[in-house]
Structure 1
Amino acid sequence: MKDRELVHLFRKKDDQLAFQELMNRHQAKIYSYIYSMIQNRETANDIFQETFTKVITKMDDTYNEQGKWIAWVMRIAHNATIDHIRKQKRFVDVSSSYDEESKTDFYERLPDEGTPGQHDQLELDESTSRLLKHIGNLPEEQRTVVMLRHYYEMPFKEIAELTDVSINTALGRMRYALINLRKMFDEEHEKESNKV
């Protein structure tokens, strides 16, 4: 069954199994997004629970079945996450809890070109760690677009809807994010060159 059919069953017939199926399909994606922004498992769990409480209570009032259900849920998760970050009045360093347990990143989504050697894997891990550190230093709006576009492979139209901006604004944030990331890598490379 498609998402919209499951949503219809839940809304019209209070079919709990339909809602459970929706959760099973999408909970990993939603939780991963929250965690990637927060970098704290306990807080991410709290925000995830808050998100689904809002989903259940607001589905009859605010969800329009013409739109994608997952995009609507992601918007709720995004807003709850941003509210938390603003309350904390700090930006999250996404590399702070980069450990063996949380190595779900851009590089692991790339096609496997064969088993890399141990040296190659160490270089890949180091590059990943640097990339995540630099993404964590981006302004909140740019970091969000980078994570949604490259980590979750969301189209810019959905990113714009989720973050409540125009497509041009979402594209602009991505462009500035890439410029800033390039600057960060250049500065890092320059510092390393000066050490030698």
Structure 2
Amino acid sequence: MNVQVVSDQKLLNCYLSGDRNAISQLIERHSRRVRDYIQMMVKDGDVADDIFQETFIKAVRVIDEGRYTDNGRFLSWILRIAHNQVIDHFRAQKQNRQLNEAEAGYDVLGTLRLAERTVEDEIVCEQIASDVRRMVELLPDEQREVVMMRYYSGLSFKEIAEQTGVSINTALGRMRYALINLRKMIKEKNLILS
């Protein structure tokens, strides 16, 4: 097993056992990576510092509440939180004034405008896709069918209704219940899908 992963796990266990210094060591270990990512996204040192602090405050809160599941990917998890904080920052900016993508260097809707993705980005995206696919498989047959046709085949609700022999309202209703069930599963499993 990777020494870095074991060390992160040990530090988390020490922190949860009452060693407050352990979380400081864990934050210090990953601070440069997280800060660089945030700085690259917001391109403003003061804003990056604020988001950096908010990221680790949120992470510690999740850990303290017992909602963090240690899967050996602490860095990916903390980068995902940082990414969400950056998105929240741009949403707040957009509410205050119209911010164009060129100013932000970022698509406010949540997609990165970078030439290439990092390995961590790829791992996170693959994990999210895998988690969502597993949850879709757990849906009742009628709901799963509508989700698969809509999101994986790209069909309109009219096309789904025609292919399944139901009304458009029934297809929409099945999608609504599927989304409710997926949200419930996400909450139960404490998944962060972003």
- TM tier relative to shorter chain: 0.5 to 0.7
Match of 1:149 in 2: 117
Residue 137 to residue 26, structure 1, CA distance change in 2 (3 Å): closer
Q: Distance in 1 between matches of 2:53 and 2:79?
A: 13
Cα distance change of structure 1 residues 148 and 75 upon mapping to structure 2, 3 Å threshold: farther
Q: Does 1:83 align with 2:46?
A: no
Matched-pair identity in % = 30
1:5-84 aligned within 5 A: 5-12=10-17, 14-60=18-64, 61-84=66-89
RMSD between aligned alpha carbons?
A: 2.9
Which one has the largest radius of gyration? 2
Q: Distance in 1 between matches of 2:54 and 2:71?
A: 24
Residue identity opposite 2:122 in structure 1 = F
1:148 touches 1:154 (CA, 8 Å); kept in 2? Answer: no
Deviations 1:113-149 (A, max 9, x none): xxxxxxxxxxxxxxxxxxxxxxx376754426x3782
Whole-Å separation in 2 of the counterparts to 1:9 and 1:82: 32
TM-score, scaled to structure 1: 0.52
Q: Which residue of the partner structure matches residue 121 of structure 1?
A: none
Structure 1 position 160, deviation (Å): 4.5
State whether residues 37 and 92 of structure 1, in contact with CA within 8 Å, keep that contact through their aligned partners in structure 2: no
Aligned pair count? 121
| Contact 1:38–1:81 (Cα < 8 Å) also in 2 | yes
Do the aligned partners of 1:30 and 1:48 also contact (CA within 8 Å) in 2?
yes
Q: 1:72 to 1:137 in 2, by over 3 A?
A: closer
Distance 1:48 1:15, change over 3 A: same
**C-alpha displacement at 1:10, in angstroms?**
0.6
Aligned equivalents of 2:37, 2:116: Cα separation in 1: 8
Structure 1: distance between partners of 2:77 and 2:120: 13
CA contact (8 A) 2:76 2:120 kept: no
Q: Against the structure 1 CA distance between its residues 79 and 155, is the aligned structure 2 distance closer, same or farther, given a 3 Å change threshold?
A: closer
